[in-house]
Every structure is written in C-alpha cells, then in structure tokens.
Amino acid sequence: MTPPSETPTSSLASRTPGVRALTGSIWLLFAACTTVGPDYVPPETKMPTGFQTQVEDKKFTSKTETDEASQEDSATPEIPAKLVTPEMLAEWWQTLEDPLLTQLVDKAVEDNLDLKLAQSRVREERARRGIARSERFPTIDAVGGTSRQRMSEETLFRRGGEFTMYSAGFDSTWEIDLFGRIQRSVEAAAASVEARKEQLNDTLVTLVAEVALNYIEIRTFQARLEAAERNRRSQEETLQIVKDRLSAGLTTTLTLEQAKYNLESTKSEIPTLKTGIEQAKNGLSVLLGEFPGAINKELEDYKEVPVTPMDVVVGVPADLLRRRPDIRQAERELAAQTARVGIATSELYPRLTLLGSIGLESISASSFLTGPATAFQIGPQVTWNVFSAGRIRQNIEVQDEIQEQALIQYESAVLVAVKDVENALIDYAREQVRREALLKSIASAENAVNLARELYTAGLSDFLGVLEAERSLFTFQDRLAVSEGKVVSNLIRLFKALGGGWKPLMADAQPEPQS
C-alpha cells in the first residue's frame, strides 16, 4: 500500500480539475436534494366529549335509560366516581389489595412467552431501522487478490504472454439521496419501531388483564364450590331429619326419596366446579410461563373474591388516544405507511450513486508497494428507470391504498376503544344492581329454609316447602358467587378498556430522529 505521504487526498483534489468539479457538483446536488411523497400529518380524530354511560350523582345512568332511572333509583347502588390517573392505571390491580394477585402479575410480566416474543419483535424492528439508517453512509469494501493471467496474441496489439497480477485496495459506493428515498425509508423504519413498541404495550395490557381475569375465575369457582359444600352439609342434615321422622312413622318413603335426590343434585355440581378450578389454574400457569400445576399450591386454599373499590375510574374519550396502545400502534402504522408511499414515489426519479476505488495494482511483487502502483477511479453513476410498463406508478397506487387502509384501521381502533369503555361501564354498573338483588334474595331464602324446616318438623307443612326453599337458596348463593366474580371481572375489563396495565418495558438506546 502506498504511504499516505505519497498520494495525499487533498493534493490529489487540488491537482485534478475534474475532481474539483466533481466535488462542487456533489455539494450542489446535496443542496438540491428534496424529499418526494406525502409528509406525515397525524389524523384529526373527532372524539365525543364524554361517554354515553356516565357516573352522575353517584349513580350510573345512560341517555337511553333516563326515564327508567327514576323508577330504579332504589335498586341502583351508589358508585362514586374518580378521575383516572396514569399512575393508577399503570398498576390498577393494586386497587384490589390482593398480594397474591400482585405476585402473579409480576411473575407474568417477567416470564410470559407472548411478552418475550413481543420484546423480540421490538429488537428486530430496531435492527431493521439500523439497516435503513446505514444507507445514508458510503459502503466501503476492502478487496485484494492475486491471479495468473495469459493475454491472447490475437488481440489488437498481438502482445501475448503470461504474467501475475497483484491488486489490493478499497471500493466504495455512496447513494446521494436526491429525492428522499433513503429519508423515507428511515422514517418508515422509525415509525415501525414505535409501532412494535406499542404492540408490546398492548400485549402487556392484555396479559395483565388475562392474569387477573383467570385469577378471579379461580376465586369465583372456589366461592361456588364453597356454597355447594355448605348446601350439601345443610341438605345432609335435612336428610337425617327425614330419616328420623320416617323411623318414627311421621313421614313417608316419598319424602325420603325427595330429600335424597335433592342432596344428590347438589353433590353432582361439585365435580364440575372442581374441574373448572383446575382448568382455570392451568390457564393461569401458562400465562405465567409455567407448566400446568406449577401454581396449584399457592391457590389451593379457598379465598374470597377480591373486594372492588367503592369508586370506579372514569375519564374522557380523548384520553384513549394517548393511553390505548392499540390506537397508538395503529397511528404509528399509518405513519410508517405514509413514508412507504414516498419510497415508492422516489422510484419515478433518477438515482445518483458515487462510485470510487483506490488501491495498488502491479504485475511484479517487488514493485507492488511503490508509488507507481497506485491506481484510483472516481465518478458518479446515474440510473433512471425510463420505462417499466407502468410498474412504478401501479406500485405507488398500491402503497396509497395501503395507506388508506391504515387510516381506516386507525379510525376503527378508535371506535372500538370507545365501545369497549361504554360496554365495560354498563356491565359494571348493571352487575352491581344484580348483585344487590341477589344479596336480598339470599337473605329471604335463608329465612325461608329455616321456617320451612321448623314447620315441617312441627308437622305443620309437607316436605315440598323445605325442598323448594333449599333449592332456591343454593341457586341464589351460586348466582351470587358468579355475580361477585363478574363485578370484579367487569372492573378489570374497564381498566383494560381505558388502556391501563402497562408502562414502558424497553428503553430505546437511540432516540428517535426528529423529522
């Protein structure tokens, strides 16, 4: 290789007029660079000023139910409202004050496989962004080799012979981004990184909600099982009373059979409830990244469904645009696709590439590292697709339509988000009403069971009263357990609909470039 002192770049540029002219042309080209294609403008989203279902005067009402509300105020529970805060939404499960649920959520965030997959996709997209950014810089390849060659004697100069060629040096290519193809590629890649990060956040929102819902499902099945076992013991006591009365000749075999099938009917529900518990545990184990059975010990003991907070979070629909990861992802996908329209548009224009090489060439090893062996080549190359049978313009139209689809998907995500909150508010409010009614039904059913037994024991009524009262009590207790689980589950779905349950998991080592 020739020492730098023998072929300095600065002296080469000063000695060669062509190089000076080329250098000046390059700077002029840089100054004339423009970016074709549409610039991204965030969509203007019209959001309602409030939700249809609102918390007013400490009661849930909706516009379609205003007339009915005045008739049902006595049955509507008072549910105070509070404004949602980002800090509370980020860890909403803390409001349920269940340490085990908190532990399960923490483990899921650490070990869930879907979450790890989403994190890997973020890293993949970051690497793709790095590839796009690298196109802004020259590509330099080091080359070298030796070859034995023979020249034909039938050439113009008829100088045949054999010789060995030694060569080494650097080849470089550098695309000048005249019309913004590279810039649009970087914009698309950066927006895709952000979209994948929002996809990760959406996966986290779904994961936390699913862990909580599975946990509540387990506790609900356990509550139903506890009610079934309690009724089984009560009905066994009733059966014993009937047996005693039959022995004393105070009742009939028919009454005994009725007491037996009532008891067996209750016992038949127990295996189904136990199956539900085990299946829910298995589902929760998978969410935690564990094999089924890994958490059976922690959930073995019966524990009541967590108590929901007295107040429920509310907000304004515009908050969803900032909080819901699926909406944010759809917006970033739209930004990425807008940049891809620019990439397609740039194919209509010329592409300028600077080509250059510098190195050593010699047919003698002894002179290979001397000054005379130095060789270089530099110059621009322009490529321009002047005919493609409409391929380029059709591709632009394709990218335009994909951009339109991305906009529609964004608008759809906004509508779905508002619908999710509306439905969650309605479900939460109405299940509270149902739960209150079931509590009153159980109180009356318990009284009815006690009175029916007393009257039957005293011989003042037949056994059908006892049978009906016990059946009703078991039904109401089972429904109450389901309702209490639904109240908490609906609150969880409300938190999810509001975009709660996530905070950034992956910090970006490189800040996003400002467009």
Asked if the model's pLDDT at residue 155 lies above 70, the reply is: no
pLDDT of residue 284: 96
Residue 506 lies in a domain: no
Paired with 44 in beta bridges are none
Give which of 495, 510, 515 is closest to 90, Cα–Cα: 495
| Tokens standing for residue 261 | 């099938």
Q: Which of 143-152, 203-212, 399-408 has the lowest mean pLDDT?
A: 143-152
Beta-strand (E) ranges in 280-327?
312-314
With a pLDDT cut of 70, the percent of the chain lying above it is 83
Question: Can you tell me the distance from the alpha carbon of 339 to that of 185, in angstroms, rounded to the nearest whole number?
Answer: 7
Q: Is 106 a residue whose pLDDT tops 50?
A: yes
Q: Is residue 135 part of a domain?
A: yes
Residue at 163: amino acid letter: F
Tally of domains in the chain: 1
Q: Helix axis angle, 181-247 relative to 253-287, nearest 10°?
A: 160
| Reported pTM | 0.83
Q: Which two tokens stand for residue 459?
A: 């011989």
- Alpha-helical segments (H) within 288-371: 318-323, 325-346
The pLDDT score that the predictor gives to residue 25 is 53
3-25 per-position pLDDT tens digit: 444 333 334 444 455 445 555 55
Q: What is the mean pLDDT of the chain?
A: 85
| The pLDDT of residue 332 | 97
> For residue 63, is it within any domain?
no
Instruction: Pick the range with the lowest mean pLDDT from 22-26, 105-109, 411-415, 480-484.
Output: 22-26
Closest to 462 measured CA to CA, from 470, 471, 453: 453
- Tell me the pLDDT tens digit for each residue of 46-72: 888 878 776 543 444 433 344 444 444
Q: CA dist 354 to 19, 181, 357, 377, 378, Å? A: 12, 16, 10, 11, 7
Gap between the Cα atoms of 217 and 258, Å rounded = 33
Mean pLDDT on 151-177: 80
Q: Is the pLDDT of residue 514 over 50?
A: no
pLDDT value, residue 82: 65
The pLDDT-based confidence of 493 (bands split at 50, 70, 90) is very high
Number of H helices, E strands in the chain: 12, 8
Q: What is the pLDDT of residues 352-403, one digit of tens each?
A: 999 989 888 888 777 777 778 788 888 899 999 998 999 999 999 999 999 9
According to DSSP, the β-strands at 312-314 and 81-83 are parallel
In a domain, 208, yes or no: yes
Distance of CA 294 to the CA centre of its chain: 26
Tell me the mean pLDDT in the region 257-268.
Answer: 94
pLDDT of the residue at 7:
39
Say what the pLDDT of residue 79 is. Answer: 54
Cβ-based neighbours of 441, under 8 Å, separated by 6 or more = 476
Task: Of 212, 206, 205, give the one whose Cα is nearest residue 280.
Answer: 212
Residue 24 lies in a domain: no
Answer whether residue 108 is part of any domain: yes
Q: What is the pLDDT of residues 197-236, one digit of tens each?
A: 999 999 999 999 999 999 999 999 999 999 999 999 999 9
- Sequence-distant (≥ 6) Cβ neighbours of residue 262 within 8 angstroms: 235, 238, 467, 470, 471
Give the SS3 label for residue 77: coil
* Residues 236 and 263: beta-carbon distance below 8 Å: yes
Identify which of 230, 217, 212 has the alpha carbon closest to the alpha carbon of residue 276: 217
What is the mean pLDDT of the segment spanning 415-435? 91
Q: Which domain holds residue 318?
A: 33-54+85-150+160-223+231-349+384-497
Res 313: pLDDT:
67
Q: Work out the average pLDDT over 29-41.
A: 78
Decide which of 389 and 150 is more confident.
389
| Residue 258's CATH number | 1.20.1600.10
In a domain, 19, yes or no: no
| Amino acid identity for residue 119 in this structure | Q
Q: Is residue 297 part of a domain?
A: yes
